[in-house]
Structure 1
Amino acid sequence: MKLTAHQIEQFDRDGYLFFPSIFTPAEMKVLLDEVPKLYALRRPENVREKDSEAVRTNFAAHLYSEPFARLARHPRMVEPVVQLFDEQVYMHQFKINGKMAFAGDVWQWHQDYGTWMNDDLMPTARAMNVAIFLDEVNEFNGPLMFIPGSHKQGALPAGHDTSTTSYPLWTIDNDAIRKLVDKGGIVAPKGPAGSMILFHGCLVHASTANLSPWNRVAVYLSLCAVSNHIRRFKRPEYIAHRDFTPIAPLADDCLLKPYPVDLPWKDGTPSSAYETEKAA
């Protein structure tokens, strides 16, 4: 999948691209059928909401789930990022965010690069997210909110919020958000399952709690240019990966055909994944 010149210009201006229904219902069913099995596991990769058993985030499923291992190598998700960076990419982070009905908590205003920079010592913002909706996203079930153009501010000052939710995040204060919104406004891409968003690592974004009766499950591939790999292993490996091998995309039909993939963690999280150190 290649981006057009117009799409590249739009990404540079707004910091994101939205592709409604880029995956088929059959492709989404393969993934969505796997999610309950993953969320039921008692593995460290499942981070649950602060006051409930609902899964907030599942990490690293591409290392132990065959359908998600194939998604991690899908050309529709990988090739546009390779094109924008003009360089091969590796998987910095892989997560399935739950935002479950009635229980999905907020994600505060933040930039993903803020965390990658502060926690992982990623040198520059040559990394970005590609998200795919496994459920329909509407105005009621906590859609992602973006501030268009905010990526052009670079890495903004952020504070480490370790108490609002079950997952610590480097967040941006309200005064800064007001100024950014006055300039760029807020958008919230919505659409059917199978829609995809590609967004810049410095794009400021957030989402509200999900008080609706509809789940809003989405997968995020955080892809980083190989030369821009992280320099510090402060976080466990299942959160910030340490394998900088370039991703080799599979064929475009990889979600519907059983292409062989490695599943190195299928029998459990290796002890090495818990190890952290000050410098790579």
Structure 2
Amino acid sequence: MASKALSAQQISDYHRDGYIVVKDFCSAAEIDRLYSTALNDDAMRKNALDLNDQSGKKTRLSLWFTPGNDVFGYLTRSKKMVAPVNQLLDGDAPVCHFHSKLMQKEPKVGGAWEWHQDYGYWYKNQFMFPDQLMSVMVALTKANKENGCLQVIKGSHKLGRVNHGFSGEQVGADMTMVNNALQTMELIYCELEPGDALLFHSNLLHRSEANLSDGPRWSVISCYSRQSNLAYNETSTSWKTPVEIVPDDAILQWDAGSLSNNDFLAKENDPALKETGWEK
């Protein structure tokens, strides 16, 4: 699919609502290559983290920092990913890639994600500017209410950072503020077809239910920042390294290496899962 700049309306919608959905962001052939890689590359399985929700169900993710010369690296570095991010992030410094993660919600057992803002996690990395942080989720399988698609509170990014504490092994937002937001703003179920993309602000409140369906719900989420957005408690270096953009056709046409060379996150090294004192 050719890169296409976001329209003025899409940019306006993002700043008003905290998110936009771009249909058919990736082609069926691109999704086939990405999903088959996710299923078959041993590095994804060996480096997967299991995080328990409040009920004890497990959500599995594999998270890496530096985008490499593999098919997921090509997606993350593609012009069609970086160009809209550059249009939406505050500031004009180069776009950097913080991390990407493969979200793996298996049938019947895939756990929920509690209400949270991504900046509720990234605040612990001591990023300075939430308006210079955002995520792009690309659906690898169908996402709907039955299999636990993402829910967002429309416009909730304008609340600023909400206090977060621990919910199971996850970091969850203060439920008083979440319930206030739900009474004030609209709850949206972001149902996606494979290849659709959801672009959302780091302070947008979102959650997802457990996957109780018969099919998997898998997605890849790439998180971006500006080089000007300093992170004072982050040991990786990708967050301050401008993305080396590749053409969109790299996803399908370039030789792709294994993800085994990637710098995956180990659970014990994640500052978001450590106490700072303000979770109490």
- Asked whether the equivalents of residues 99 and 238 of structure 2 are also in contact (C-alpha less than 8 Å), the reply is no
What is the match of residue 20 of structure 1? Answer: 23
Q: Whose strand proportion is higher, 1 or 2?
A: 2
Q: CA RMSD in A?
A: 2.9
Structure 2 contact 143–217 (Cα < 8 Å) conserved: yes
Identify the residue that residue 266 of structure 1 maps to in structure 2. 260
Task: Flag the 1:116–1:214 CA change in 2: closer, same or farther, 3 A.
Answer: same
Bigger proportion of residues as helix: 2
SS in 1 for 2:189: coil
- For residues 56-100 of structure 1, give each alpha carbon's deviation from its aligned partner in whole angstroms, at most 9, with x where no partner exists: 101118656711111111222211111223332111111001111
Residue 124 of structure 1 pairs with residue 129 of structure 2 = yes
State yes or no: 1:47 paired with 2:71. no
* Matching residue within 58, 64, 88 for 2:62: 58
Corresponding residue to 1:107 among 109, 113, 117: 113
Separation in 2, partners of 1:4, 1:23: 18
In structure 2, do the counterparts of structure 1 residues 127 and 140 end up closer, same or farther at CA, with 3 Å as the change threshold? same
Instruction: Give how far 1:174 is off.
Output: 2.3
Residue 172 (structure 1) aligns with = 173
Give the conservation status (yes or no) of the 8 Å contact 2:71–2:256. no
Under a length normalisation based on structure 2, what TM-score does the superposition of the two structures give? 0.84
Unaligned runs of 5+ in 1: none
Moved over 6 A (4+): 270-277
Aligned: 1:29 with 2:42: no
The superposition leaves residues 30-73 of structure 1 with CA deviations (integer Å, 9 ceiling, x where unpaired) of: 00001123467564x31025468x76101118656711111111
% identity of equivalent residues: 27
Partner SS state of residue 245, structure 2: coil
Asked whether the equivalents of residues 106 and 209 of structure 1 are also in contact (C-alpha less than 8 Å), the reply is yes
Q: Does 1:251 align with 2:275?
A: no
Structure 2: gaps of 5 or more residues: 272-280
Q: Distance in 2 between matches of 1:142 and 1:276?
A: 25
Is the CA contact (8 Å cut-off) linking 1:140 and 1:210 kept in structure 2?
Answer: yes
User: 1:148 is matched by which residue type in structure 2?
Assistant: K
Letter in 2 for 1:57: L
Which residue identity is paired with 1:89?
V
**Structure 2 equivalent of residue 204 of structure 1:** 205
When residues 267 and 3 of structure 1 are mapped into structure 2, their CA distance, relative to the original with a 3 A threshold, is closer
Count the aligned residue pairs.
Answer: 262
Give 3-state SS (helix, strand or coil) of 1:76's partner: helix
Find out whether 1:217 has 2:225 as its counterpart: no
Query: Structure 2: how far apart are the matches of 1:184 and 1:273?
Result: 34
Pair 1:146–1:268, CA change in 2 (3 A): closer
Q: TM-score w.r.t. structure 1 length? A: 0.84
Secondary structure of residue in 2 paired with 1:213: coil
For 2:164, the equivalent position in structure 1 comes to: 158
Comparing 34-43 with 76-85, which one deviates more in the overlay? 34-43
Per-residue deviation, 1:272: 11
Aligned counterpart, 2:9: 6
Q: In structure 1, how many angstroms separate the alpha carbons of the residues matched to 2:147 and 2:210?
A: 8
